[in-house]
Amino acid sequence: MEPYYAGALSILPPIIAVVLALITKEVFSSLLIGILSGTLIYTVGMGQDFLIVSTVQNAFSVMVNKVDFNIVIFCSLLGSLVYVIAMAGGSRAYGEWATKKIKGRKSALLSTSLLGAFIFIDDYFNCLTVGTVMRPISDKYRISRAKLAYIIDSTAAPVCIIAPISSWAAAVGSNLKSTGAFESEMEAFVATIPWNFYALLCISMVVLVAIGNFDFGQMRRAEIDAIKNGSSGISNSDHENIDVVTEKGGVLDMIVPILALIVFAVLSLLYVGGYWGEDPAYHSLGGAFGNTSAGPALVLASFAALVVAFVLFVGRRLLTLKQFMNGVLKGIQAMIPANLILVMAWTISGVCRDLLQTPLFISGIVENDMGMLGNFLPAIIFVIAGFLSFSTGTAWGTFGILIPIVVVVAQAIDPSGALITITLSATLAGSVFGDHCSPISDTTILSSAGAGCVHIEHVATQLPFALIVATSAFSGYIVAGFTGSLVLSLGTGFVIMVCVLSYLHMRNLKRETYADHEALHPTK
């Protein structure tokens, strides 16, 4: 399909989808209306006949082209793995064992955060794996699914973007290489890590929330409800009503398949990246990860883990062949809502990026106006990257568009090169911010699925926390643009974040009822 430059109208579809989702609390229809509004703009702009028919046809044409079936298959197979593990009694046994080792809500929250930080290879893999492992424990300690989804999401992309060995580092490196401005792309990426204020502050926020109960707004209400009534997730999810076939399953029946998944994921990423291939350029960890593709690798890993589960459960007669295959099918069915949201999110992103040329509109603003901003450049780039990433639901696409522009502008403003690292970091940080909180972002959707949380509830409860971190990071980039001091700028952002959290926490303490206080701060 031939693209059409829609200018400012190109950002209208995601705005419509987000506003409708927050108002109606219904994500499917909101995304569909957003998609159709975008293809309607395209149809009118291109002067196509049969307005309604062409609008619908264009929407499905984009959908067919933008769906990543590798990720759909990965999600489905992982849903099957989770289901059969539960049927075999592995989830129950693991939950009972883990609650003996993990004492209390704080330990459970910190354990979830540490596991999220540990699985830094890929954000898709992170979201679903951490949710699978930690959901029984969070339910045991009555941690809301919204809180679990927030921690998963906040230790996915924000951790991957500061991990030198990850699919994200490879993607950033490839974009840095295309500029031709750096002798070593990996060295340039590593240099951005301490200046990636959003990622660092986001991880700090998770730790503060886990330790200090700094909840407010809808997240606080979700936590109070979970403590009083138990964790509640997706009411129609088959994962919530799994019939445990046997009580013979043990802890290893949970741990072995998940460890197999992790090991096979790393090996598959290396294999797809050509680590054992003929080209010696990829015979290193950095080279292989730089050349890999997460989708096909994760399909291989999830299938291999499912084979391990088959041998483990059917071979020991915990499940019959028929029971195992029924569990596989029901696990796939349980992932249908998440897969549908992913498909529609990819579609609206494709409508904006490919049909209406949103990136071209944003890059025009950057190229025309950034040169006049001087020391404010990092802060403004952070905002622009965040807005573009939020609108299109992709961090990779955002920094892929902005990095070549930002490098040129930063070099023109400061030929010494001191401003380039800060501005590149702001680009990556803004890209992660938009990806982190956008309702149409892959990781936001997969975090909801992994935690078993209603998607729009996850979006609504996470957004205030993300905005506080983003505001703090923005302040840090203003200081960085003028001073060039890492300690002063990052410290400014951290102090602002802590002050805002403390204020909101004290306000909640004054307003909460006695019953709510006892629920959140038990005396025993």
Please tell me the least confidently modeled range out of 1-10, 19-28, 151-160.
Answer: 19-28
Cβ–Cβ under 8 Å, residues 176 and 189: yes
pLDDT at 98 over 70: yes
For the chain, give the mean pLDDT: 82
Best-predicted range by mean pLDDT (77-91, 295-309, 498-512): 295-309
Q: Which residue has the higher pLDDT, 184 or 455?
A: 455
Comparing 148-157, 197-206, 486-495, the range with the smallest average pLDDT is 148-157
Output the DSSP codes for 328-370: HHHHHHHTHHHHHHHHHHHHHHHIIIIIS-HHHHHHHHHHHHG
d(C-alpha 103, C-alpha 122), whole Å:
29
Q: What average pLDDT does this structure show over 149-163? A: 88
- Segment of 90-99, 289-298, 375-384 carrying the highest mean pLDDT: 375-384
Cβ 59 vs Cβ 351: under 8 Å: yes
Q: Return the higher-pLDDT residue of 409 and 196.
A: 196
Three-state secondary structure of 269-290: HHHHCCCCCCCHHHCCHHHHHH
Q: Is the pLDDT of residue 523 over 50?
A: no
Torsion of CA 143, 148, 150, 151, to 10 degrees: 110
Query: Which pLDDT band holds residue 150 (cuts at 50, 70, 90)?
Result: very high
- What is the pLDDT, as a whole number, of residue 200? 95
Percent of the chain with pLDDT over 70: 88
Note the pLDDT tens digit of each residue in 454-466.
888 999 999 999 9
Average pLDDT for 257-263 = 86
Q: Going by C-beta distance under 8 Å and a sequence separation of 6 or more, which residues neighbour residue 217?
A: 461, 464
Question: Are 439 and 18 a contacting pair, CB within 8 Å?
Answer: yes
208-249 tens-digit pLDDT: 988 887 888 889 888 888 888 876 555 434 444 566 667 788
Q: Which of 145-154, 275-284, 412-421 has the lowest mean pLDDT?
A: 412-421
Rounded Cα–Cα distance for residues 57 and 45 (Å): 15
Report which DSSP code applies to 209.
H
pLDDT at 189: 81
501-518 pLDDT tens trace:
988 888 877 766 645 555
Q: Which of 48-57, 235-244, 324-333 has the lowest mean pLDDT?
A: 235-244
- 210: closest CA among 97, 110, 310? 110
What pTM value is reported for the model? 0.75
DSSP state at residue 3: -
Say how far apart CA 314 and CA 167 lie, in whole Å. Answer: 34
| Rounded average pLDDT over 328-340 | 84
Q: What share of the chain is helix, strand, coil (3-state, %, to 5)?
A: 80, 0, 20
pLDDT band, very low/low/confident/very high, at 96 (cuts 50, 70, 90) = confident
> Does 41 have pLDDT greater than 60?
yes
Contact indicator for 68, 346 with CB cutoff of 8 Å: yes
- The residue type of 200 is L
- Predicted pLDDT of residue 237: 44
Q: How far is CA 7 from CA 12, 18, 99, 231, 381, in A?
A: 10, 19, 54, 45, 19
Q: What is the mean pLDDT of residues 161-190?
A: 71
Residue 498 burial by Cβ neighbours in a 10 Å radius (0-12, 13-18, 19+): middle
Q: Which 3-state string (H, E, C) describes 502-521? A: HHHHHHHHHHCCHHHHHHHC
Long-range pairs for 271-279: beta carbons < 8 A, 24 or more residues apart:
271/297, 271/300, 272/296, 272/297, 272/300, 273/297
Average pLDDT over residues 140-161: 89
The owner of tokens 């901003």 is: 373
Pairwise CA distance, residues 419 & 408, whole Å: 11
Q: Looking at this protein, which amino acid is placed at residue 495?
A: V
SS3 90: helix
> What letters, b where the CB count within 10 A reaches 16 and e where it falls short, cover 299-323?
bbbbbbbbebbbebbbeeebbeeeb
The total number of residues written for the chain in this structure: 524
Taking only the tens place, the pLDDT of each residue in 339-380 is: 887 788 788 878 887 888 877 777 676 666 555 567 788 999
